[in-house]
Amino acid sequence: MRTIITYAVFIVIVVTAGILSGLSNGPGDWYQALEKPFFNPPAWLFGPVWTILYVLIGVAGARIWQRAPKSAAMQLWFAQMAFNLLWSPAFFGLQNPELGLVVITGMLATIIAFMITAKPVDRVSPLLFAPYLAWVGFASLLNLSIAFLN
């Protein structure tokens, strides 16, 4: 029962924090007016993708928490969450693609560091982060392109 509760708590907290960060720092008219690259995905895609990713992030966090709550992997998990939750306020809230790029670079670095550090603790957690790494890598390119075009 404790395992199920741990998973539920991590998933609910991560999904809720992600949704709140996104809703309180929505794209708005400013973003709509920006020049975007040809590979910019449609707006409707971001919500479902991030919801799935947040569930995977929550599961990975719960797995590491259960195995090594005071480990470097867990600290990196929290660090990547901090960067993740700072990106929308930096990019959309402050309307600053360059600051968003700084934040997303930190997010990418902590995702990679987490994956490397978590592997000896739990082989599944880095696999759960693989889609997240791919999406944030793509989002980084998108962020860089928007900063360059504007």
pLDDT tens by residue, 27-68: 889 999 999 999 999 999 999 999 999 999 999 999 999 999
Q: How far apart are CA 134 and CA 126, in angstroms?
A: 12
Whether 22 shows a pLDDT value over 90: the answer reads: no
pTM score of the predicted model = 0.94
Give me the amino acid identity at 81: M
Give CA separation, 95 vs 24, 25, 33, 98, 121, in Å: 13, 10, 12, 9, 39
Is the separation of the CB atoms in 132 and 111 below 8 Å? yes
Measured at the CA of 139, the angle between CA 123 and CA 82, to 5 degrees, comes to 65
Give me the amino acid identity at 119: K
Q: What percent of the chain is modeled with pLDDT above 90?
A: 93
Is the separation of the CB atoms in 95 and 149 below 8 Å? no
pLDDT tens by residue, 70-80: 999 999 999 99
Q: How far apart are CA 30 and CA 91, in angstroms?
A: 11
pLDDT tens by residue, 3-20: 999 999 999 999 999 999
pLDDT tens by residue, 134-147: 999 999 999 999 99
